[in-house]
Amino acid sequence: MISVQNVSYIAGRKKILNDISFQLSPGEMLAVIGANGAGKSTLLKLLCREMNAQSGSIQFNGKAINAYAIKELAQLRSVLTQHSTVSLLFTVKELVLMGRYPHFEHHPSSLDLWVIDEVMRETGITDFALRDYNTLSGGEQQRVQLARVIAQIYDKPNAFLFLDEPTNGLDLLYQQQILQLARNMADRGYTVISILHDINFASRYADKILILKDGQTVAFGEPKNVINCENIHRAFNIHVKLMDCEGLKCPLVIPSGVLV
């Protein structure tokens, strides 16, 4: 379980996050949406403990994140950042194995090797296993990066997966594949938090949505309860129309084209 209580973060004199609170249960996927500069990446950095909030508390499974040892934390949460550049020559399999580094000292165990084979199979990258990572397309590279972060927590079903705009720059098929993999992780009991820019994908794949605006919560809850014209206008300063679509649990959001 993730509990975020009254978290604020200030950089210099700017309050980047202001009094953010939410809770997620195991198996839930949260999409964080909001305009550029709303504070989404900052929130993710606090959740990863890359930075510390000045006030409020963040707990993983009832324990403050600052109370975890670094190695313990590395085995409990994994993070797909936006810019995962790889300048050295690595095969895909070597890169996925990096996800297991928090689990072994010198040599991977048979469990580590089993995990990377399983994850490569699940993410559909087994055929690339021996390819040089840098020869893959952007979409293929993103699947490999996702495989690496899944491998990190694969044998820890109470763990947390954090994704910062995982679908950036991907075509529609790859976007769906990446989000479906994230959804599968939630369905297996992981708690998943993903920053997304596409509101319709957020509604389709996530159980809950957090809408941020200037570091503050506009709304938090199930897609059908938070995705409405008023909240979207408050968060993004655009007018939208909602369109019901058969088979979807939440109406589609369509920008009206009117700028205000």
Ligand X SMILES: Nc1ncnc2c1ncn2[C@@H]1O[C@H](COP(=O)(O)OP(=O)(O)OP(=O)(O)O)[C@@H](O)[C@H]1O
- For binding to ligand X (CB under 6 A), which residues are involved? 11-12, 14, 16, 34, 36-42
Element (H, E) at 233: helix 229-236
CB of 65 to ligand X, least distance (A): 18
Measure the CA–CA gap between 129 and 116, rounded to whole angstroms. 10
Nearest residue (CB) to ligand X, 37 versus 157: 37
Nearest residue (CB) to ligand X, 45 versus 100: 45
CB of 208 to ligand X, least distance (A): 18
Residue 92 burial class via C-beta count within 10 angstroms: exposed 0-12, middle 13-18, buried 19 and up = buried
CB of 75 to ligand X, least distance (A): 26
Nearest residue (CB) to ligand X, 52 versus 135: 52
Q: How is residue 193 written in tokens?
A: 């938090």
CB of 214 to ligand X, least distance (A): 8
DSSP string covering 65-120:
GGGS-HHHHHTTEEEE-S-----S--BHHHHHHHTTGGG-SSS--HHHHHHHHHHH
Phi-psi region of 37 (alpha: psi -120 to 50; beta: other; left: phi over 0): left
Nearest residue (CB) to ligand X, 156 versus 234: 234
- Looking at residue 132, what DSSP letter applies? B
Pairing mode, strands 29-34 and 208-213: parallel
223-254 burial string, b = 16+ CB within 10 Å, else e? beebbbeebbeebbebebeeeeeeeeebbbbe
Nearest residue (CB) to ligand X, 49 versus 156: 49
CB of 241 to ligand X, least distance (A): 23
CB of 54 to ligand X, least distance (A): 13
Nearest residue (CB) to ligand X, 83 versus 107: 83
**Residue located via tokens 């975890």:** 68
Nearest residue (CB) to ligand X, 39 versus 99: 39
CB of 42 to ligand X, least distance (A): 3
Q: How is residue 136 written in tokens?
A: 């893959």
